[in-house]
Structures are given as C-alpha cells and as structure tokens.
Chain A
Amino acid sequence: MNGTFIVNKVACNFSFNPTARLLTVLRDNGFTEVKQGCQEGLCGACLVIIDQQLVNSCQVLAASCLQKQITTVKGIGTLHHPHIIQEAFVEAGAVQCGFCTPGMVLATYNLLNQIPQPSEEQIKQFLDGNLCRCTGYVKIINAVKIAARRLNQGNHGKN
C-alpha cells in the first residue's frame, strides 16, 4: 500500500506492506538514524516521536501512521545544527557506541518537553524503555541533567 508520512516536517510518500512496522518503512526509505536493536519494543533504539508521543517504531504498524508527524533524531538537530540535548550527550561522554543514542536523545527531548526540570528519579523512570550496554547509564543521566539546565537557562535558540 501507499501513504504519506510527514517525517521531520517533510511530506514523504512511501509504498509499504500492510503489515510492515514503521521502523522497517523508515529504514527502507533511508531514515537509518532509527536503529533496530530488538524488534520487540524493549530496547528503545528505534524510538521516534509521533505527534508528540514517544513510541517504539518497531511496535507501530506503518499503516496506522498515515499523515502523521514523525520525528527522528535528525528532526530535532543535525550535525551542523545540533540540538542542545545532542551537544549535552557529546559533552557528558554519554555516547559510547552510539547505537542507543538516537533513541536516548529522543526520549530526553520528550521528557524535557513534559518535565523541564526532572529529578534524577524522574529521569531514571522516564528512560526505562532505553537499553544501553556501554555506558552503565551514568553519563547518560548526566547528559539529561546538563541539557535540562541549559534549556532552562533560556538557551532555546536551536530548538
């Protein structure tokens, strides 16, 4: 089947199988920043934001997202115009292999939209859908705190 998806604010027409997962459709169409880690909704590497909801794109059927706004990690910041959160991950040493990072960054983005100044406990609870095997999460939690502090200092320029 065919359908239009608004990916990172650009309308895209994809043809896809009616039972295809959003993850597969995105990756097949070049959005490889959405990573595939487990296909069971439990690692968070494939997170995207659909209409402000953080979801595992492997647990979403593409056919249920027609005309929806889909944001990948490239939609919140790019190499040349990184988001404060992405910069915070770099600075905090929160990126090791980086396979979980796009999902972690999106989860952080979604968290800070909802709770601008989260406590450590709130950060830990919110990131419960993101696995990371490299960092032991310590630096990731630091990165979230750094990003929250910067965003709250009114440094929203790049958002």
Chain B
Amino acid sequence: MAKTDCFKSVGKNIPKIDSLGLSTGEEKFTDDFCFPRQIYCKLVYSSSPFAKIINLDLSGAEKLSGVVEILSYKNTPSLFHTTAGQGFPEPSPYDTKLFDQTVRFVGDRIALIAAENPVIAELAARKIKIEYQEFTPVFNPQQSTSSPPLHFQGEHAVIPVPYLPEKNIAAKVGFEIGAVDSVLKNSDLVINKIYQTHYASHCALEPHSAISYFDSRGRLVIISSTQVPFHARRIVSQILDLPVKFIRVIKPRIGGGFGGKQEILLEPLVALITLRTKRPARLVLSREEVFISTRTRHPMEIELSVGADKQGSLTAISMKALMNTGAYGSHALTVLSNTGSKTLPLFNKIKNIRFHAHSVYTNLPVGGAYRGYGATQGYFALGQQIDILARELKVDVLEIYKQQHIKSGETSPVFEVLGEGKEGTSQNITSCQLTECIDQGSQKIDWYGKRDKRIKNGHWVRGVGMAAGMQGSGIPRVDLASAYIKINDDGSFNLNIGATDLGTGSDTILAQIAAETLHTDPSQLIVLSSDTDTTPFDVGAYASSTTYISGNAVRKCAEKIKTKLITAGAELLQVQPQQVSLENQAVVCRKDKRRCSYEEIARYSLYSENQHQIQATTSNFSNQSPPPFIAQFAEVEINPFTGELKLLNFVSAVDCGQPINPLLVEGQVEGAVVNGISYALTEQYKFSSAGRMQNANFKYYHLFRTPDLCKVKTIIVNSYEQSGPFGAKSIGEIAINGPMPAIANAIFDAVGIRLYQSPFTPEKIYQAIHCCHKELTERRQ
C-alpha cells in the first residue's frame, strides 16, 4: 500500500530544524525581542460579570509620571469584529469591540495602560477607578436563552447563519437525515444519556505576547505569538482601519498554541499604542491573565440517543448539543458544527441521523479554538454511549466499532450537510485503517486479558476502556496555503511558507516534503515561515491543516522546481528533458549516467546562459479533508473506598496516513494524550458565585507533570492517503479526543459506574460508587 521504502526524507526522524537553537536558548520568542524606547502595556479587567461602566475615572493613572497613554472605550475604534482568527468573512459573529462600555465577564477588558516601565504600568492600573451599574448575569447555559441579552447594540453575523443575540443565541446549526424519532421508537434498544464537559485552558507555556513598532519606512510591524499571522494582519487592518499594505506581522518561535493563539487579542492593542505614540509597544500577559481573559475550551452539554437492533447494528442517532460560548461568540458556530461533523460520520451505516445544536452566551470566560475543536466534547458522549450500548447488548465493543465504522471507499451524508459555517463537502474516504488501529491497540493493552476481569491489587481494582474516532485534515474548500521555492548558487533552496510552526515541527516536515520531491536532503532547504511580508499566504495553524494543506502546497511547488531543474539540467547535459531524472541532488541522464549537480545547474542558470532564477510559487486548497483515525485505550486502577484513581497505561493507535516524520507524529500524539488525560482528571475552572475564576494559576489549576504520568504508548499504523503529500494526513488534534471517553469506560470496567460529567475527580468517582454499589465502599479488613 505505502511506498515508504522508496522515500529518502519522508518517513525519517529528521531532527526539528529549530530544536538545537531552542535547546541552547538561541531561538527567540516574542517576549525575547527588545526595542529602544519601548513602551510597556498592561490591561485592566472587569471585576464584574455583567455591567455597564457608568464612571471610568482615569485621572489618578493619567497623573502618574511615566504613564504614556491609556486606551479605553472612550478613545478607541468601536467597530464590531470577532477576535476569532478565521478566514474572511469569519463564521464567528461580530460581537466584540476593542473596548466596550458594557463588560460581560470577569476578565473582560476595560482599559490598557501604556507606560515607561512595567512597574509604573502596574501602579497606574491600580489607580483606575471603575463604577459599575450591575446587570443580572447568567452563568447557566440552560437559562441563557431566557435571560436578558448580553449583546444588544447591533452585534451581527457576517455570513448568512442564524444569529439571535436577543435570545443569547450565538450560533445554531442542525440537520436531520432519515426519520430519527420513528426509527428510535422501533429500535430494539435505545440509549439516551446527557453528558457535560467543562471549561479548560490551553496552558501553552508561553503566555500570549505581542510587540509592535514602526520600521524605517513607517510601516507597522507586529511581532506576535500567533497561530494566524495573515488573519492577524487582516483583522488589525479591519479594527484600526489601516491598509493591509501598511502592516507586517511576524511570528517568531511560538511557545505552544493548541488553538489558544488562533485569536486576535493583543495585536490591535500594541498596534494602536505604536500608532499613537510612534514608539515600540509590548504587551505580555501574566499567567493569571491568560487564564481569565484569553480563550478556553467551550463547555458543552450533549444529549445523545442511539438506537440499535438486537444484532448490534446501529439504527439511528440523535445528538443535541448546547454549547456555552461565554461572553463572546468566538468560534461559537464552528466548534459546535465540528461536534457533529467530526463524530457522526464515524458510524456511516446509520441511516437516520439528527444533529441539533446551539451556542449560547453566558457571563463566563470566552470559549475558542482548542485542539480537538468540538470533537473532544462530541467524543466524550459518543465514546461512552457506544460502550454502554455494547454492554447492554452483551457484545464486544471492539466488534461494534470494527463492523460499523466508516471504511475506505465509503462516505457519510454528514460530510455534505455539515461544514464550517456553510454546507459541507461530500467526500469518499480514501484511506481508513481504523480496524487495524483497534487490533493493534487492543493487543498492546491486552484488552481480552483485562476487560471485565476486575483485577484486584489490594483495595484497588483495575479496568480497561477504549474509544475510537476521527478528525479532519484542514477545512475543505476554505483553507488555503502557499509556498515559494528558489534555488541558490550552491544548489540549496529557500523554502518560504506562510504556514505557522507552533512547535509542532511543521517547518521541518515541510522541508522534508520539499526535499523528497526534489531528491535532495532536508538540510538543503532553508526554511522561512510566517512573515506576512516575505512568505506567501497561508491561513495558519489550525483545523489540523498544515501537513495536508500546506504540505501539498509545498509538494506542488517543489514539483514545479523539479520541472525547471530538469529543463535546465537537460540543457546543460545537452539531452532531451525526457531523458533525465532527478537523483541525489543532481539531474542524471538515464542512458549514460552523466550527471550535473544542483549546484552546477544553479550556477549555469544564474550566470551562464539563458540566465534565470529557478523559482516557483504555488498555492493549494482542497476539496476534501481526509480524516485521520485513532483507537485509544486506557487502563485505570480505582480505589472504591475513596474514589482515588491511578492511570496505569494509555495506548493510542493512529492512522495518520504516511507519517512524514514518525518521531514528530509520536510527539503530537503524546502531547495531545497527556493534555487529554489531564483535562479528564485534574484540570478545571473553578468559579465563584460571581463568575470569577478562582484558580487562575498553576497552583490550583492542575496540569499533569512527570510524576503523574502513566505509561503512554503510541502506535502508528501503516496507511497511505493518496491525496496527501506522500500519503500523509493530519495528526495535530485527533489524539486529544480519546482520553476522556476511554478513561470513563475504563472506570466503568473497574467499578461499574458511569460518569457523565467531566472531570473525573476522586469525590465524583466515590459518590457514584457509593450511590450505585454501596457495598464496594464499605471497608472490609
């Protein structure tokens, strides 16, 4: 199936091109840049969840020596926009102003202080006096639509989608195929459950940061920790009413994103300070600010009904989702759509499918893009539901998946009806090794040796659980990427790409793809990425798009270079182009094996005759989004007396097509898995009764650390996606979806209880055991 053996660069564990620079501290992140006369910015946030500012007294701060500028709703553009870093026109509603007289959550922006140094900025921030006229906030998404509206000043959607701010509905999406209700009514078995997921923070180690300055020609340069430099340029231009040509956005190294930096939050603020003061301005958030004021994983409530016949064939599915988008509707429609579109096609044998979903406003922190993007929430429900169903039917859950998951050559009607902000795109699956993933993963965890065995270890009881799923590879007919390649005198190449490496290694794998096409070594590629002036357009790093969309752009571009190398090489060798091919950094005449190296070709084409620069540029978009597939397995140990949980093993077996760089693929899986585990077990926002996050620090917001780790194993299953660059599909997001349902199913396997609300804290586990199996919690010697 795969042509792996003949690859020279693809499929190899090439070290990340920036990793030595990062290990030695040479590479620069946004906050590492420093400019003479720079101004330090500091934001002031709302302490009220919902209020109108009736008096904003800046006089104390203004009087302070060293305060240069203060921004607030009084002196800034009041254009409605969305902070979501998406393509234009954005599917997220225009409901946000740079600053607004109405504040809608604790952590909403009220003012920005710009000062000579951070101490003065901090001092000035404390001197700002705010008087609020408090409104009644709504924290419960269930009550949102019957509560007073958060947005009532002309907020609007810019694409034709349902947007009802008067009812606090930020987005609405749905479809029905077949006759769900009647089929459910006649099914032998129907499982109906409600699942709830919780708020979480991305916790990229580098806090959000941005710096702006005027270059020597009076253009505005913004250095930003962004996943979307081109969208950042466009949205800054929009908010500040500046021509795009006036702005340059540069992404240096970025300390993790995970979706949290697919958001235009800081760029317009520093830009405005630079515009007003003509000085460099910088804004770097504290950890607390990242928690309370940036973006989060949308909490969701999903009511899921699945019907089956006695043989275990699924008959109908109804998914009803209520998403809490917080105070603003960033990604409110698209995350919601993905909850259905990335889960429902998995069981494509089901003929009757319904998806009805709403996003509602509440006076809580704002949701946004977060690795998994709605699929995480959807699979929490679906992954448990299938396990419940299998147990009710007394069949092996692995068999249900293997028999009924979508296969290569098949399609699902969901692809066509559900897209991101518009109708979807029908597609046939051209590669799917999910059955193989299930087989290899279950073998690794010793599924049949452990399932239903309730192996005891003192007071502790063991269990195993699994979940399987799919994601996508970019957004079809939306995402665009491009690449530029040119040759240098010595036969090396510049590869300029708009794609955004967040630490994922995309700069490296794109070099591998170019090198593979050009029959050269990846080290011959000099990669420059993510600079709106010097690299061609790319939508940025999101939607699991870079390997597939940007990778194909690079491959196509390198193909063009290949043709030019052949033409020039044949000319040099004085043969016909059809008689030569590329081989180990040279054009070789197939007949007599004469060769001319890329260096010779470069010198020839640049200096000798018929002089020209061998160069090419290409862009790429896709009509399809081939999903990667994954099967994930958890083994847990539970103490029924206390509800304490130990995770022992976690296995992921993934079909991501041909891995371009297997080591980096494993890294993506492991990072996503541990984030997913930590989300399932220990991470959560705790709110006060006034909607204030009370644990906005690493002391009380618990990320997994090395001592918490269990054994984490990744298996890359052999697969090849014809439409991908050298057979590749995406890998960035998919692995975060399985931990929550797999662990929940493992808990059931161990102690027979179902947890429908995440996270699975020891007290919740204990209470559930105590409630359902009291005898297990009674102490015996």
Partner-B contacts on A (CB < 8 A): 17, 27, 30, 32-40, 42-43, 45, 72-74, 77-79, 82, 86-87, 89-93, 95-102, 105, 123-125, 127-128, 130-141
Contacts and interface: CB of A to CB of B under 8 A. Distances in A.
Given A102-B23, A123-B706, A136-B674, 13 more contacts: A32-B25, A73-B25, A79-B21, A93-B13, A95-B22, A96-B503, A97-B253, A98-B18, A128-B706, A131-B205, A133-B703, A136-B671, A136-B672
Nearest to B13: A93
Contact of A77 (B19, B24, B254): B24
A60 to B, nearest CB: 18
A97 B205 contact: yes
B707 A133 contact: no
A40 to B, nearest CB: 6
Contacts of B13: 93
Nearest to B711: A138
| Prevailing SS type, chain B contact patch | loop
A97 B256 contact: yes
Contacts of B204: 97, 99, 133
B516 interface: no
Interface in B700-743: 703, 705-707, 709, 712
B671 A131 contact: no
A42 B699 CA distance: 7
Contacts of B32: 32
Contacts of A105: 23
Contact of A93 (B663, B672, B674, B697): B663
A74 B23 CA distance: 9
A141 B28 CA distance: 25
B698 A134 contact: no
Given A127-B706, A134-B256, A136-B675, A40 B25 contact: no
Interface string B224-256: 000000000000000000000000000001111
Nearest to A141: B706
A124 B15 contact: no
- Interface core residue of A73, A86, A97, A124 (most chain B CB under 10 Å): A97
A34 B28 CA distance: 11
Interface centre among B16, B22, B31, B697 (most CB of A within 10 A): B22
Given A17-B119, A135-B671, A136-B675, A90 B287 contact: no
A133 B256 contact: yes
Nearest to A127: B706
B505 interface: yes
Nearest to B714: A138
Contacts of A87: 20, 23
Contacts of B29: 32, 35, 99
6 contacts: A86-B20, A92-B663, A93-B664, A97-B503, A131-B698, A133-B258
Contact of B503 (A17, A37, A134): A134
Contact of B697 (A30, A42, A96, A98): A42
Contacts of B670: 135-139
Interface residues on B, range: 35 or more
Interface of B: 13, 15-16, 18-29, 31-32, 34, 119, 202-207, 253-256, 258, 284, 286-287, 502-505, 663-664, 666-667, 670-675, 697-699, 703, 705-707, 709, 712
A17 B666 CA distance: 45
A133 B19 contact: no
A94 to B, nearest CB: 8
A104 B663 CA distance: 19
A142 B244 CA distance: 46
A76 B287 CA distance: 28
Contacts of B258: 133
Most buried by A among B205, B256, B502, B666: B205
A40 B24 contact: no
A95 B16 contact: yes
Nearest to B15: A90
A91 B24 CA distance: 14
Contacts of B286: 39
Contacts of B31: 27, 32, 36
A139 B697 contact: no
A134 to B, nearest CB: 5
